[in-house]
Chains A and B, each alone.
Chain A
Amino acid sequence: MTLRDFANSPKTRRHSGRVLVASTFAIIAAFAVLTAADSARDPGSSYRPSVPVRELPEIKGTEIAQLTQAPAVPAPIDRDYATRVIVELETTETVQRLADGVDYTMWTFGGKVPGNFIRVREGDLVEFHLTNSVTSGVPHNIDLHAVSGPGGGAEVTLTLPGGGSEFTFRALNPGLYVYHCAVSPVPMHIANGMYGMILVEPKEGLPAVDNEFYIMQSEFYAKPGKKGEPHTLDFERGVNEQPTHVVFNGSMGALTGDNAPIVNAGESVRLFVGNAGPNLSSSFHVIGEVFDHVYGEGGSDVTQRNVQTTMIPAGGAAIVEFRAETPSNLVLVDHAIFRAFNKGALGMIKVVGDKNHDVFQPIKGLGVAGH
């Protein structure tokens, strides 16, 4: 195996040449990126960039965003220009399985928890259409953490059942961002499942990988309904931050068994990991792998290499990358381990293919064939 630090080198970034021919601002931005990377390697150096003025590239054409449901991620953007991206998202209220024997009255973006994954490019003008299903009982809105503007969009998107709201925003800052409903009382909307993620891909693109997945952790505070009706939010548990369930992708088992993604041994994997909370931070860890790269807090740069566990705050995200060297069932956990063992914070990625004995080889033990 070789050391993989391709992402940190500007030489291997796609379209890197375009940065140099762009405006003064772009050169400054590129310089800042390089300086940041250098600073990370040399803790003794000073890194005190001025706050950038974001360039607003010309908008060419229009396209409709192709949204996905977890764990799928929309295809990488191969445009080298900014466009008007139309995003259409509907809020719904449905009863869905949270765990075996536990149905929960979930409020969603796009019909599932977590909500649809949105992928746009840095500089894009996003035309956002939020609708609230006519079957909903309460109003909803959306606060996208990628938005620079009032309430992240929430202040202009209060949408009654059967209604719709629209606004536009510029995707100024590249990175991975959480979005959520922000109608009062906000904790109830988030605790009921109203969150998802939007990736603002850097204009030079992300390095190519073999697999990308969308993972979102959240916790539920489930109280059984009266007379066997579906569970709803337990207010006291929520206030006390004592969840009944901590899950990846909206339910126990959403990423295990037949639902576990499959990758081939030797392939690279990028996980877009979000944490909706509403209360807990996540000690995100993959059993059986080391993160070659972590884009800390979902920012646009690799901030650390060779990481075992990365902290993801509530309302935050991280991008992690690794190469699945040899076949195994990689287990995704919140390493605050009671959550994994008892409350559901377990996922799996199945790595199939030929064993790589140069990387891992059992010799003697109960688990070794022929013992």
Chain B
Amino acid sequence: MQTFTLILRNVASAAVALTLVSAAAPRAAAAPLADGATASVVEDIAGRSTELVPLDPPIKGKMVRLPAGELRSLYGSTTDSTANRVRVESFRLDVDAVTRGEFVDFVRAHPEWRRSRVRGVHADRMTYLRDWRNDLEAGGAMDAPVIWVSWSAARAYCKAQDKRLPTVAEWEYAAAASANRRDATRDAAFIQDLMEVYARRGLPLRPVPEKNAWGVRGLHELVWEWVEDFNSVLVSDDSRGVGARDFGQVCASAAIGAADASNYPAFLRFAVRAGLEGRTSMGSLGFRCAI
């Protein structure tokens, strides 16, 4: 059994990209659950303590539950296809990214996250919510994803909903699905589509996309999204020689040790996460919550 090392660092210089290997989940759990479905126990991917999820009041917002499954890390063995796997336990994920309108409600209720009051340690005050007119008036469409938010602010938002940010493994697991396949990471047409989407990331948003096979919407098409452990690297033991610092960094060296050098969209996500700090805000970076 392959073991994995979770490396957490204070300064983000690398991140993790994972590809879905298989959803090795019981058949009963394979189908996404209906919106608002509840579960009593959620196991944390990082192995932290099991926690109870309150059954009442009901979960806020539309979520879907994804069954447990396995991911293969993008970096790791290039020869042993059974290596580099990490298990993802069942979790629930917001169907949509958090919107401007929802974030307006949040800052109304939590003044410490308003643009004029946010602490510099939590957000770069030069860029945080910079497209807003003032503390309580967001610019742009209210149903578009909120952007220019820091990791700290995203975490605080999710916490206020009795949720949390997804881990990178959870996010990648959910994002490996195309509209009709849960594991589309080997689907050349899907990968090509994502490259087109990412190449235009800096250009105006396209219409809200269809749900993917898990029932999740817009993981790729709208904005990059914060994850809880954006500044971590998940590598298998046998690729330690490459050095975590090298992952997602620069030049062709990023391909050294890559198990699947064709997954350009995953490399792009790597690069974005590698550049982030907890205070960072960007016009193409939003988030959604998980439980």
Contacts and interface: CB of A to CB of B under 8 A. Distances in A.
A136 B285 CA distance: 11
Contacts of A139: 271-272, 274-275
Interface stretch (B60-68, B236-244, B260-268): B260-268
Nearest to A106: B199
Contacts of A107: 199
Interface string B266-283: 011011101110001011
A236 B188 contact: yes
B267 A184 contact: yes
A155 B264 contact: no
Interface stretch (B105-113, B189-197, B225-233): B189-197
Given A138-B201, A139-B275, A154 B251 contact: yes
B254 interface: yes
Nearest to B281: A162
A223 B267 contact: no
Contact of A184 (B188, B195, B271): B271
B229 to A, nearest CB: 18
A233 B195 contact: yes
A56 to B, nearest CB: 26
Contacts of A134: 283
B251 A186 contact: yes
Interface residues of B, number: 34
Interface string B111-145: 00000000000000001000000000000000000
B267 A185 contact: yes
B202 interface: yes
B257 interface: no
B1 interface: no
Given A95-B203, A138-B202, A141-B250, A160 B276 contact: yes
A270 to B, nearest CB: 31
Contacts of A184: 248-251, 254-255, 267-268, 270-271
12 contacts: A93-B201, A136-B202, A141-B250, A154-B251, A159-B275, A161-B282, A183-B271, A188-B264, A225-B196, A229-B200, A232-B200, A235-B195
Given A160-B275, A235-B195, 17 more contacts: A93-B201, A93-B202, A105-B203, A137-B198, A137-B201, A143-B250, A143-B251, A155-B249, A163-B275, A182-B251, A184-B270, A188-B199, A229-B196, A233-B199, A235-B188, A236-B188, A239-B262
What 5 A-B pairs are tightest by C-beta distance, nearest first? A137-B201, A137-B202, A184-B254, A182-B251, A185-B267
